[in-house]
Structure 1
């Protein structure tokens, strides 16, 4: 099982997409749709494995941001970076003190629960993922999804 990295390497420059969204369920749903739409604009078709993986990872990270990283009146930010062999999904929320667990638990009891499997899915679909606190007001959870450059 993959675990989060303490620090991220500085991504090389490439196309990127960034948007602020309301920290609501509607904002999380919109994040997933916009991520898939942006991948299509970059030439990664909707029905590819990479598009499905980015959609799932974006949905999970955005849902976590609005569930665990929400502060009244503060938005969350979605950023996508198209790098050479992968797409980086970053979701930044307003709760730097609420860090994700170092490794998602695969406890059989948690598999039957109604929630708590999001980071397990992220670790399954992402090549690697991690969390950074870049300032005193936000944290960014990121995931790199393999997506060969065409």
Structure 2
């Protein structure tokens, strides 16, 4: 089995044990790419995600926002010098778009800040946006030193056809 940190290999996972679900079904569509852990890499993640979703015939909003936030967090909080992060998009049965961003800072798990209550701060709202936009989201730890932050969007019954 390939590890999450082996950025050149297929990534294999099962559902979060917190949900009590069996292993995820095989994705019907899958795209995965390593990107530099820089602002340019985060921007490229958003651009590539939009292009890939369009090629699959899927709407790119709100997925574009989720990719942007997760990639920005990987660059800002998950960056390790000389290491990349990985963006993975997958459409899994019955009709779910799963967005995953894997970085090599498994020791720094994301923490959703409390609702800022209307403060004017320019940062700290990313996971709040993810939580409000995604149908589900979470974090998978490991294998060391990695973590994957994921978000899922429910699609219509004809998604990707």
Fold-level similarity (TM above 0.5): yes
Correspondence for 1:145? 153
Distance 1:149 1:30 in 2: 29
> If the length of structure 2 is used for normalisation, what is the TM-score?
0.80
Pick the aligned partner of 1:81 from 73, 78, 90.
Answer: 90
Correspondence for 1:22? 36
Correspondence for 2:107? 97
Change (3 A) 1:7 1:92: farther
* RMSD of aligned residue pairs (Cα, Å): 1.7
1:100 Cα offset (Å): 1.0
Distance 1:138 1:43 in 2: 31
Matched, 1:59 2:68: yes
Structure 1 consecutive aligned stretches of length 4 or more whose deviation exceeds 6 Å: none
Asked whether the equivalents of residues 85 and 104 of structure 2 are also in contact (C-alpha less than 8 Å), the reply is yes
Asked whether the equivalents of residues 102 and 149 of structure 2 are also in contact (C-alpha less than 8 Å), the reply is yes
The one of the two structures with greater contact order (alpha-carbon pairs below 8 A, sep at least 6) is 1
Asked whether the equivalents of residues 6 and 130 of structure 1 are also in contact (C-alpha less than 8 Å), the reply is no
Matches within 5 A, 1:100-115: 100-101=110-111, 103-108=112-117, 111-115=119-123
Q: Show structure 2 runs of 5+ residues with no match.
A: 1-15
Q: Show structure 1 runs of 5+ residues with no match.
A: none
1:137 Cα offset (Å): 1.4
Asked whether the equivalents of residues 126 and 143 of structure 1 are also in contact (C-alpha less than 8 Å), the reply is yes
Instruction: Please identify which structure carries the higher helix content.
Output: 1
